[in-house]
Chains A and B, each alone.
Chain A
């Protein structure tokens, strides 16, 4: 039971901390407004995926 409370507390802390981080981002860079999706994210993620898949093979 104590473990369950600990995990629940951890999740709430995590969500709360992330919540604060996101709003801190709004305070620094201004409130974001919807934009057109950026295709470069896909290419960057794909490049990162290739790199991640490659690392264990060459280690």
Chain B
């Protein structure tokens, strides 16, 4: 009979070996990680390649389509100013307006007739110039007009379109960097004014018009010790005296950041990135400007490059946030001074930056840059008008092409990780165990049923783990997941230890270790999927 038992054991071992080989041979098809898609958003469409030299690209939309202006190319002195018309995420027109020049700050505006108004900065050895062109839809040719030429350094051109009139701001060095304003009417620059008069560097201006068409300008002023944010408004007798609305950061200027402006509900809102007092990371700051006064800046979220979403009933922002793999594009709704309904739009382990956003009939189209494997950057688009169908597998974080294999690997790797985290929590286990042992000296606690002992051990461990004793612990994924992990670990420990009759110190130590392993296993599942 012994021989039969030996054969049976061998049979089981062979069976396990065959199953393992089968599983591991198919396993190469499962992805190493899963891309968690933002629900309600479309596929991310790569559109076109562009250069790394311009601080921004420009996007605008009307019923005729979405138009972009960008400077493309691989060498900073040989860039192409390119205009594109996009419909249904497909490029319909692509026109190179200027070839092989040193170009920057392409700004696009639309008028009520559907014309596209383009302004841009051009640098050459002979001097610097600002140029203008108008394009119709469909494209029927264009004429370039140089409306400003100077030997002074010009940078940071920004503009806003008011039907056929273009309001411009730029920073010009004469001899110090000052903020200039002008209005382009019939291809002629008029009403030119220098807003600042300071020996400090006045840079990165932006402009917005209120509902009466009054221009408001905001800019950074860099002193030797700090960066200040200043603001001025056009009045009947000229521009108002600049007044300070907040503090900026040299880090944001170095990274090419600008100040976002919007006019909403009879007020002007400005958002920029700066370092809060207690942090060395850039955070989005928001101020409200009304009647010549500004509110205290509200610190919103970590990140930079904020952009207000125009044309929507609720107050929405898009910005370049910070994630595990670097810069990410975030969208959020601003309510009562804080960002709610925050969504990470960047999928997978890729960095994304410099977002721009347009709204189309209540839907959002967001554009950003990602590194192009073929050099330069690639512009991508995502929208919430045609959301991607998300299967149940993808929704729960599993690879839909091989869900069972992926589950198996997640299970095994998370179990191994839970052992590591349990070891890292040795201090918590020791402290918890000592307190538990102390309580066991009282009969009142010693005579309690097993479930009480397990629950007491679990709660002790949760309380002690909040102190800085553990070397590491699983990330927090919300109260529901935390509570579920606690419940499963407690119930699991109880069910496993129920059949043990002895209640000595060794058994209680096993309860502690078992609970910790189970708790770490269940709480690490989403963390393991995301990494």
Q: Which residues of A contact B (CB under 8 A)?
A: 7, 10-11, 14-16, 18-19, 21-23, 25-27, 29-38, 41-42, 45-46, 48-49, 52-53, 55-57
Contact = CB atoms under 8 A, between A and B. Distances in A.
B415 A26 contact: no
Contacts of B344: 33
A45 B463 contact: yes
Nearest to B442: A56
A59 B477 CA distance: 37
A14 B495 CA distance: 9
Nearest to B12: A5
Given A33-B530, A42-B463, 5 more contacts: A19-B525, A26-B396, A33-B477, A41-B462, A53-B445
Nearest to B463: A45
A21 B452 CA distance: 23
A18 B521 contact: yes
B476 A34 contact: yes
Nearest to B479: A38
Interface in B374-400: 392, 395-398
Tell me the dominant secondary structure on chain B's binding face: helix
B480 interface: yes
Interface string B397-434: 11000000001000100010000000000000000000
Contacts of B215: none
Interface residues of B, number: 45
Nearest to A5: B12
B281 interface: no
Contacts of A53: 439, 445, 456
Interface of B: 36, 39, 344, 392, 395-398, 407, 411, 415, 439, 444-445, 448, 452, 455-456, 459-460, 462-463, 466, 475-482, 484-485, 488, 492, 495-496, 518, 521-522, 525-527, 529-530
Given A22-B484, A32-B480, A37-B476, A42 B466 contact: yes
A31 B407 contact: no
A48 B459 contact: yes
A26 to B, nearest CB: 4
Contacts of A15: 411, 415, 518, 521
Contacts of B455: 52
A49 B444 contact: no
Nearest 8 pairs between A and B by C-beta? A32-B477, A26-B396, A56-B444, A18-B488, A45-B462, A42-B466, A37-B476, A32-B478
A21 B526 CA distance: 13
Contact of B522 (A7, A22, A30): A22
Give the most central of A7, A21, A49: most B CB within 10 Å. A49
Nearest to B418: A15
Contact of A14 (B396, B397, B479, B492): B492
B411 A41 contact: no
A40 to B, nearest CB: 8
7 contacts: A22-B481, A25-B481, A34-B475, A38-B479, A52-B455, A56-B445, A57-B444
Nearest to B445: A56
Given A25-B480, A32-B478, A56-B444, A46 B463 contact: yes
Contacts of A35: 476-478
